[in-house]
């Protein structure tokens, strides 16, 4: 049902900036509704209901191979054994014997005469009335409303600048063309807006009437969620794309439908379509096959990132997949006719390719170091994964090797995003041994973990200094979290001296960054609040060093000397943190002498002072003497503090 002209004009002319924040009633207009949206379908339609799919699959005349491109993901069905249907279809049609080139084919074209829904589920009248009521409800709550004018344009520009390079799940040219024609999926648009609102200028959202960035993200997220819950979108690929973007929303640590919920929904739907399998033998166009590959590897990256950050199981198993690795050619179609969206496409493709390979190694780290059942070959597995990390770093193309950050969203920006992840994974690999014993092996692991944390801190400092911290990918929060956990461990284990002072200074930089990031990623604020409590406890009136009690000024007091903003204030009320970081920048030396970001070149420097000499750990202390709380880390999750956090005073 199309929105009437009168209704549209009423919405366009509305200047009421008081929102129903449950669904974000922002100043907006209604774009034409999706051509594939859930419109009432008559029982007299010429198309067959989907209950006839199995019967039609054995009709060789309808399913004979042809050269037609599969126009969208909704027009394919994924069939593999041991599914009984696969065997019956192949035997009944003689498909493989008649067409030997189709041996191993898994993606089959659905006949054009078949609609997506079954006709035999509801009576015609009941179905139509129910869907009409649903659409009216969606209209009433604003789910079908989209931003107008400059807000719409700038959100799309932000999306393709900040989000799309890291997760190229859209066919950019096709998407922008559909937007221009006014027939883009409303579900996908709302999900895109929600992701873009994370990174856009806050003034843009304020001018649109949103009181905070969080309110804007929540509004677009709830609109997308309402459309998804109503089964409003029938194109399965579009739904997968929207779900991937929805998994960037995380309203609170106890949310049931959190980032993991939406990611698992996206993975399950993609696997139902067969996105996890090679499409080489399908009838899909080359362009569509490239898109599917980018979508699948985006899901893989998110799956590994979330598993490492939250300690939850990996949902994608490598043994189940045979999708080819990404190549530069897979990004060749990702060019927009609109020059304003053409943003260093080569570096974007290289970033995605290298992040994919790094995420594969991350999966191996999780299995080697954090499996529920410990392997008898743990040391060998750890050494093997350590070599994989070193090989990944060594084979990086020149554009993706570490470069000092001097601009926003350029090639060096994306190389920094890679190396922030890389150093985080070094910490994940070595932190368990560092934390649990005082052996020589743990000493080597300590040096590598501290070195990686130092590099993360230096790159974080550069992000703040260039004013680009709000543009970072979500994995950067986890990287800073990891670095801060190492700095806290160093503070706890160091005797008084320069090593301890350096760890305190680096921890303060990470906390400043987390406080700045909480506007875009609320998760960073939760982590920041936790570390405020840890630092208060760690550097209070007394610090235990051996059997002695030593008076010490609070590190939190030093931190607060440079931060007079009220609790919960956003970055607009902050003092000039960039100036603060520049003032102390010389205390963090370059990552390496030749600016190469290779942790294996840095086993001894100030880290060796921490492990020996005047700064060595007091001899009567062991790991058990330190209450590391969530940093005991028998698994990679860094969020086991939630149970404690929920009982803390505000």
pLDDT in tens, 176-218: 999 999 999 999 999 999 999 999 999 999 999 999 999 999 9
- How far is CA 150 from its chain centroid? 27
Quick one: average pLDDT of 330-355?
A: 74
Alpha-carbon dihedral 333, 334, 336, 339, rounded to 10 degrees: -120
Quick one: average pLDDT of 82-108?
A: 61
| 311 vs 634: CA distance, rounded Å | 10
CB atoms within 10 A of CB 330: 22
Lowest mean pLDDT among 127-131, 351-355, 387-391, 576-580: 576-580
DSSP 274-294: TTTS--TTSS--HHHHHHHHH
Quick one: average pLDDT of 124-141?
A: 72
Q: Is the pLDDT of residue 466 over 80?
A: yes
Give the pLDDT confidence of 489-527 residue by residue, as tens digits: 888 887 677 888 888 899 999 999 999 998 888 888 888
User: Which two structure tokens, joined as six digits, stand for 68?
Assistant: 């037609």
SS (H, E, C) 447-469: HHHHHHHHHHHHHHHHHHHCCCH
| 22 vs 599: CA distance, rounded Å | 47
Give the pLDDT confidence of 33-62 residue by residue, as tens digits: 433 334 333 334 566 666 666 666 666 434
Q: What is the pTM of this model?
A: 0.73
Q: Is the pLDDT of residue 557 over 50?
A: no
Give the pLDDT confidence of 227-275 residue by residue, as tens digits: 999 999 989 999 999 999 999 998 777 778 888 999 999 999 999 999 9
Provide the pLDDT for residue 515: 92
What residues does each domain of the chain span?
A: 5-16+28-41+119-331, 50-109, 344-645
| 260 vs 273: CA distance, rounded Å | 20
Q: Is the pLDDT of residue 455 over 90?
A: yes
Provide the pLDDT for residue 535: 83
Please, which pLDDT band fits residue 530 given cuts at 50, 70 and 90? confident
Q: Is the pLDDT of residue 69 over 80?
A: no
Provide the pLDDT for residue 620: 33
Provide the pLDDT for residue 522: 85
Quick one: average pLDDT of 93-108?
A: 58
Q: What are phi and psi of 548, to 5 degrees?
A: -100, 155
Provide the pLDDT for residue 525: 85
Query: Buried b vs exposed e over 441-460: b needs ≥16 C-beta within 10 Å?
Result: ebbbbbbbbbbbbbbbbbbb
Structural element, H or E, at residue 542: strand 542-545
Name the nearest CA neighbour of 487 among 514, 517, 466, 525.
Answer: 514
Query: Buried b vs exposed e over 522-544: b needs ≥16 C-beta within 10 Å?
Result: bbbbbbbbbbbbbbeebbeeebe
DSSP 624-639: GGS--GGGS-SSS---
Q: Which residue has the higher pLDDT, 623 or 433?
A: 433
| 490 vs 511: CA distance, rounded Å | 15
Q: Is the pLDDT of residue 299 over 80?
A: yes
| 228 vs 256: CA distance, rounded Å | 16
* 3-state SS class at 432: helix
pLDDT > 70 fraction of the chain, expressed in percent and rounded:
60
Quick one: average pLDDT of 613-625?
A: 34
Give the pLDDT confidence of 361-408 residue by residue, as tens digits: 999 999 988 888 777 777 888 889 999 999 999 999 999 999 999 888
Name the nearest CA neighbour of 191 among 149, 151, 143, 231.
Answer: 143
Let me know: does 562 contact 578? Beta carbons within 8 Å. Answer: no
Provide the pLDDT for residue 437: 60
Please, which pLDDT band fits residue 84 given cuts at 50, 70 and 90? low
* 3-state SS class at 551: strand
């Amino acid at each position: 049902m199309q929105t009437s002209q009168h209704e549209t004009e009423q919405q366009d002319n509305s200047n009421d900036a008081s929102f129903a924040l449950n669904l974000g009633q922002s100043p907006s207009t209604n774009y034409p509704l999706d051509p594939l949206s859930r419109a009432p379908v008559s029982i007299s339609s010429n198309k067959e209901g989907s209950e006839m799919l199995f019967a039609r699959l054995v009709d060789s005349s309808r399913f004979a191979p042809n050269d037609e491109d599969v126009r969208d993901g909704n027009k394919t069905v994924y069939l593999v054994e041991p599914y009984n249907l696969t065997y019956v279809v192949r035997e009944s049609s003689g498909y493989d014997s008649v067409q030997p080139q189709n041996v191993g084919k898994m993606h089959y074209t659905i006949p054009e005469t078949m609609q997506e829904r079954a006709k035999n589920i509801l009576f015609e009248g009941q179905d139509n009335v129910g869907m009409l009521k649903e659409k009216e409800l969606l209209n009433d709550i604003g789910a079908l409303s989209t931003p107008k004018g400059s807000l719409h344009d700038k959100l799309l520009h932000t999306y393709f600048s900040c989000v799309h390079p890291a997760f190229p799940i859209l066919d950019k040219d096709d998407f922008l063309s559909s937007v221009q024609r006014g027939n883009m999926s409303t579900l996908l648009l709302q999900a895109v807006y929600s992701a873009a609102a994370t990174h856009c200028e806050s003034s843009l959202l304020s001018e649109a009437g949103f009181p905070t960035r969080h309110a804007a993200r929540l509004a677009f997220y709830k609109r997308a969620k309402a459309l998804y819950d109503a089964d409003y979108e029938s194109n399965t690929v579009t739904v997968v794309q929207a779900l991937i973007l929805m998994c960037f929303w995380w309203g609170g640590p106890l949310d049931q439908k959190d980032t993991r919920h939406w990611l698992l929904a996206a993975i399950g739907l993609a696997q139902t379509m067969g996105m996890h399998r090679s499409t080489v033998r399908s009838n899909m166009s080359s362009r569509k096959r490239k898109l599917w590959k980018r979508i699948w590897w985006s899901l893989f990256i998110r799956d590994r990132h979330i598993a490492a950050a939250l300690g939850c199981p990996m949902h994608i198993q490598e043994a189940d997949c045979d999708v080819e690795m990404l190549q530069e050619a897979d990004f060749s179609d990702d060019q927009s006719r609109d020059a304003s969206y053409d943003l260093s496409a080569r570096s974007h493709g290289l970033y995605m390719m290298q992040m994919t390979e790094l995420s594969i190694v991350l999966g191996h780290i999780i299995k080697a170091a954090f499996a529920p059942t410990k392997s008898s070959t743990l040391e060998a597995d750890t050494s093997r994964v350590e070599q994989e990390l070193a090989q990944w770093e060594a084979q990086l193309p020149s554009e993706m090797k570490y470069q000092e950050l001097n601009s926003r969203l350029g090639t060096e920006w994306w190389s920094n995003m890679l190396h922030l992840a890389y150093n985080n994974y070094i910490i994940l690999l070595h932190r368990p041994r560092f934390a649990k014993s005082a052996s020589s092996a743990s000493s080597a692991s300590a040096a590598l973990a501290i070195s990686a944390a130092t590099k993360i801190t230096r790159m974080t400092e550069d992000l703040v200094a260039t004013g680009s911290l709000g543009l970072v990918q979500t994995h950067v929060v986890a990287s800073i979290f990891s670095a801060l956990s190492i700095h806290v461990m160093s503070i706890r284990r160091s005797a008084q001296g320069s090593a301890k002072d350096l760890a305190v200074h680096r921890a303060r930089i990470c906390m400043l960054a987390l406080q700045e990031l909480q506007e875009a990623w609320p998760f960073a604020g939760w982590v920041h609040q936790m570390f405020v409590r840890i630092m208060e406890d760690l550097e209070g009136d007394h610090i235990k060093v051996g059997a002695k009690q030593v008076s010490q000024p609070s590190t939190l007091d030093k931190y607060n000397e440079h931060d007079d903003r009220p609790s919960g204030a956003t970055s607009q009320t902050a003092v000039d943190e960039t100036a603060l970081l520049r003032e102390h920048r010389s205390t963090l030396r370059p990552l390496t002498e030749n600016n190469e970001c290779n942790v294996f070149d840095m086993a001894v420097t100030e880290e060796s002072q921490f492990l020996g000499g005047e700064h060595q750990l007091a001899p009567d202390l062991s790991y058990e003497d330190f209450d590391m709380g969530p940093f005991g880390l028998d698994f990679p999750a860094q969020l086991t503090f939630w149970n404690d956090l929920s009982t803390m005073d505000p």
